[in-house]
Each structure stands twice: as C-alpha cells, then as structure tokens.
Structure 1
Amino acid sequence: MKHSWILLLIILMVSCNQTKKEKTTETEDKSEMMPVEPNEGIGDGALSIIDNYVKSIEQAHKKEAFLKHKAISFNATIFFGGKLHLDGKITMLTNASKIRIDKKDESKLIYNGEKVFLCPKTANDKGARFDMFTWTYFFGMPYKLNDPGTQWELGSNKALDGVDHQTAKLTFEPGTGDAPDDWYVIYTDPNNNSLKAAAYIVTFGSAGDTSKAEADPHAIHYKDFTLVDGIPFATKWEFFGWKEDKGMTNKLGEATITDITFLNEEGTIFDTPDNAKEINM
C-alpha cells in the first residue's frame, strides 16, 4: 500500500510538471506572436509617440468639430517683401478638396476638385497655383497633418519667443501631391499642443532640383488666436527666414485673417463662372 501511494505521488508530480511546461511553452509562443508597437509606442494598442504627437495637435485645434462643417471662408490680406501680394476672400471646403479665391481686383481663382480656373480670361495668371494652394494649406495645416503620404519624425526642442517648443519634421512619400519634396518643421505650444509655427521649403517647379529651396527655408508664425464656434484660428501670420541652428531670422512678410465664417452648404460657390479659362498646373 505504501508503494502504491509513492507511485501515485510520482505520477502526479510528472503530470504537473508536464502541464506547467505546456503552459510555459504556450505563453512563450503567444509572446513571440504579440505585436510590438511601432515607433516606441507604449502599451497594448497604444498610439506611437509620433502618432500621439500629431493627435494632440488635432485635438488642440478641434479637428473633429472643424470637419463637421461643410465649408469655411475668410478674408486674407497678405504682404510679402514689402508689397501687397493678396487681398481677397478665400472659401474652401473644410477637407480642402475645393477652393475659391475672390480678389479685390474682381478676378477669381476656382479649384473644383480637378481643375483650376481663372476668371476673367484676361486676368494675370502669374502665381495662380501658389495663391490657390499655399494660403489654404497654411490656414488648414492643423487638419492636414495626417493626410495620406505624410511621414513624421520627432525632433528636438527649439526656441520660439524665448520658450522651448517641441518640434517634428513632416515629409511626404514619393508621389504625394505635386510637391512631394516639400518638408515642414512643426513647432507646438508646450502648454496646449497647438501648432504655433512651421518652417518649410517650396519645391514646386524645381524639376527635381531642390537645392535652391533647401538653401532658403522660410517659416510661418501663427499668432493672435481667436475662437470661432469653439475652434481656434490664428488671425495673424508672420513670415520669416529660417535656419536649422538659429530658428527664425529676418522677417519677410505678414498676413491678417478676418471674418472667419463657417458655411453649411457649398451651393454654386465652386462652379466655373463664365469668361473663365483653365490654368495648366
């Protein structure tokens, strides 16, 4: 009887060890299959550090509330190099897929989502593409940071107005838009994560030679924020030269943004008017 108990105890010990081994192996297998968060993400399902950075900017600028509106219009008076560059009303869908600019000289630029038109046909088309897409991008930048083709790299802190701001570099995958070689260095407010400035280069029309643009980066500084329907908008933009090691240098221009208004319907705003000509972009 004594030997029977000893034999039973040995069988139980072997069985327990085998079960423990199987559980350990199963745990190790699951561990090997467990996905690792990219870009130093933390925790199961957590956003990566850079994704969280972009998300925090979108939240600061109320992206979800902004995109619930159909369209938005604003007046822009822009001086560059000491000269008036643009004075007019800009209207755009909040997803930026359609744009209209009504200038004070009564000329119009319209992007209907596919083509750009200038009205009247006799109007000066010099700089039309720049005006059509640059100012609307600067206005809507907080809502465009996660567009398809965007690539991010978290940077170091850089001083702005004597205060350190977190920065990150935005680049684009090849084939994104018509200027995939452009880049931006984003500055975010250390207190509320809003987008306060962006250094950038303009490479459109460079035919692949970006050396000139790389040698002369510019920067936009967003100031004097106001709330419209609870959404913050900068009503003053200042433009500067920019150096990687020095930040903003000489002032190049400024813009005043007024009468920011949301529109519930686009109506016929983006229809091609009579006496318009298509502009090859």
Structure 2
Amino acid sequence: MRYLSSSLLFILLITGCGNQEGEKRRANDSSTQIQSSSNPVPTLASTFIEEIEDAHHAPMFFAHRAVAFDLKLSFAGKSRLTGRVTMLTNSTKVMVERNDGATVLFDGEKVYRYPNDTNWPRARFDVLTWMYFFAAPYKLGDPGSEMELLGRFPLDSDTCETGKLTFGDGVGDAPDDWYIIYKADSTSLLRAMAYIVTFGKSAEESGKAEPHAIVYSDYREVEGIPFAHRWTFTNWKQEEGVSGERGVAEISKVRFVENPEFTLPEGKVEVGM
C-alpha cells in the first residue's frame, strides 16, 4: 500500500474588516483536505489484494503466532522433499525438518543447516520457497512489493482476474522474481500463481528462465481458515494458461503452533547465498 503525504499549509492573515471569518472558513477547508489526503484511496490493485486476503481470513491467520504443515514434494515422479515446515505467520522465522532428521533454519537474518555434513544442496531455496508458496495469499501486500492488474487470462477451461506481483530493488534473495496471481471468481481464493525463479542464476540465465505455475486445489479449512492441500506445478504461458504436470506437493496436518522452537543444536553450519 502506498500512502499520500501532505505538507503543512499556511494561511496568511490579511488585515481588513470582515476577513477573519473568511480566513477561518478557508483554514477549516484546508484542514479537511489535509485530513482526507492522509487517508489512502483504495485502488483496483489494492482491492484485488484485499479480496484475496479476506477470502483467506488474513486477520484470523495472523492472530496465530506460527503455523506448521507436512510437505510431500515430488517432481517428474521423483521425491524432492518430504518433511515438516514450521513458520511464524509473519514469515520472519522458518524451519524445514526432513524426515531423515536433517534440518534447515531461517532465523530472520541467516540460514543454517544441521547437521553440518548434511547433503542439502538447495537448503536456502527450500527454506524460503515452500513457505512462500504456502503463505502466498498473506504476502501480496508485503513491503517492497507492487501489484499491477493485468486483466482476465485463461486457466484450465476458465478465465481468471490476474495481477502481476513484482518487488523493489534489494527485496529478498531474488528481487527480479515475479508472480502472476490468479483469483477465483466465485470465492476470491488464490487459484494459481505463475512465477519465474532467478535465485542462484546469473543475469544471463535469469533472462532465459522459463516461467512455470503452481495451481492450488483441495482447499480445506483449519480453524476456519482455508488452506490448499494440493499444489500442482505446471508449464505456463500467459495467453494459454497452464499445461503439463511437472510436479505435485501434498500438504497435510496443517496446524497452528503457539510456542514454536526455532533452534538448532551445536554443530549447525551457515548456508550462504
């Protein structure tokens, strides 16, 4: 959200009979204008975001301190990651615990893995990406992000209202990433996101990267809040929509955690960019 700023207006007093009441009225009018301009005017883009947030009950989500879910991720029929993700609802701390006991932690500033001899080549990507896909409906208005409405585009046999989410310089590990957000007409739930991944790639590689999409389905309520329990990763073209399944994520055991622990034993090692 962007807020309009107002500057102080000074009323010059002019001497003369009958001017005082007129000056008072003008001063009052100016004060009203200043007050009005200090309130952000809703835009179509902000309304688009708010409709998705409302559908996903954002205030109820953020009323909880943390949320956890089990993740079973596979691509091209091969297991990619199986384990548990725990995150603060404001995304400032995240932990991914694989079923083999290996763990990666984002403590708000740095990423660590444990034990130090763990074979986890994409640990940083995993701790920051899958939590983002899970919490996406609540992150569309994050500081440093901008939404631009694109109009209606096809998705499966339907069309959806869409918006493009981009990021300012220095935001996150990969500020050149972008997302195309698809909003379901009947429910305003997040239906899909097209995305480009530039993390860990050179500028030349990023320019050649092909976008893909994640389609959200099997929404189920947990304490009154809808969460997609199936993510389908596909190929994507804006004018054609999604095609061809590339991977699947099965989400289960979504639960809120009020006293999470984001600590690792001695022997953890920092994960660089």
TM-aligned CA distance change 1:159 to 1:36, over 3 Å = farther
| Alignment partner of 1:220 is 2:243 | no
- Quick one: which amino acid aligns to residue 177 of structure 1? G
Q: In structure 1, give the amino acid aligned to 2:217.
A: K
Structure 1: how far apart are the matches of 2:133 and 2:43? 26
Partner AA of 2:244 in structure 1: N
1:47 aligns with 2:42: yes
| Pick aligned residue for 2:269 from 249, 273, 277 | 277
Equivalent of 1:211 in 197, 207, 230:
207
Q: Distance in 2 between matches of 1:187 and 1:280?
A: 33
Q: Is 1:92 the counterpart of 2:92 in the alignment?
A: no
Q: What does residue range 194-273 of structure 1 map to in structure 2 within 5 Å?
A: 194-209=189-204, 210-213=206-209, 216-266=210-260, 269-273=261-265
Residues 1:174 and 2:166 aligned together: no
SS in 2 for 1:233: strand
**1:8-157 matched pairs, under 5 angstroms:** 46-157=41-152
TM-score, with length taken from structure 2: 0.84
Structure 2 gaps of 5+ residues are 1-18
- Distance in 2 (CA, whole Å) between partners of 1:45 and 1:171 is 21
Identity %: 41
The structure carrying a bigger helix percent of its residues is: 1
Tell me the CA shift for residue 272 of structure 1: 2.3
Q: Unpaired segments of 5 or more residues in structure 1? A: 1-18, 38-43
User: Is the contact between residue 73 and residue 80 of structure 2 (CA under 8 Å) also seen in structure 1?
Assistant: yes
- In angstroms, what is the RMSD of aligned CA positions? 2.3
Partners of 1:241 and 1:161 in 2: CA distance: 12
The verdict on how the C-alpha distance between 1:119 and 1:34 changes in structure 2, with shifts beyond 3 A counting, is: closer
Matched positions, count: 248
Per-residue CA shift, 1:191-213, capped at 9, x if unaligned? 12111100000001223332122
CA contact (8 A) 2:156 2:241 kept: no
Are 2:154 and 2:239, in contact at CA under 8 Å, matched by a contact in 1?
no
1:177 is displaced (CA, Å) by 1.1
Cα distance between partner residues in 2 of 1:205 and 1:54:
29
Contact 2:156 2:242 in 1 (8 A): no
Cα separation, 2, equivalents of 1:167 and 1:54: 11
Distance 1:272 1:112 in 2: 10
- One-letter amino acid of the counterpart of residue 92, structure 2: S
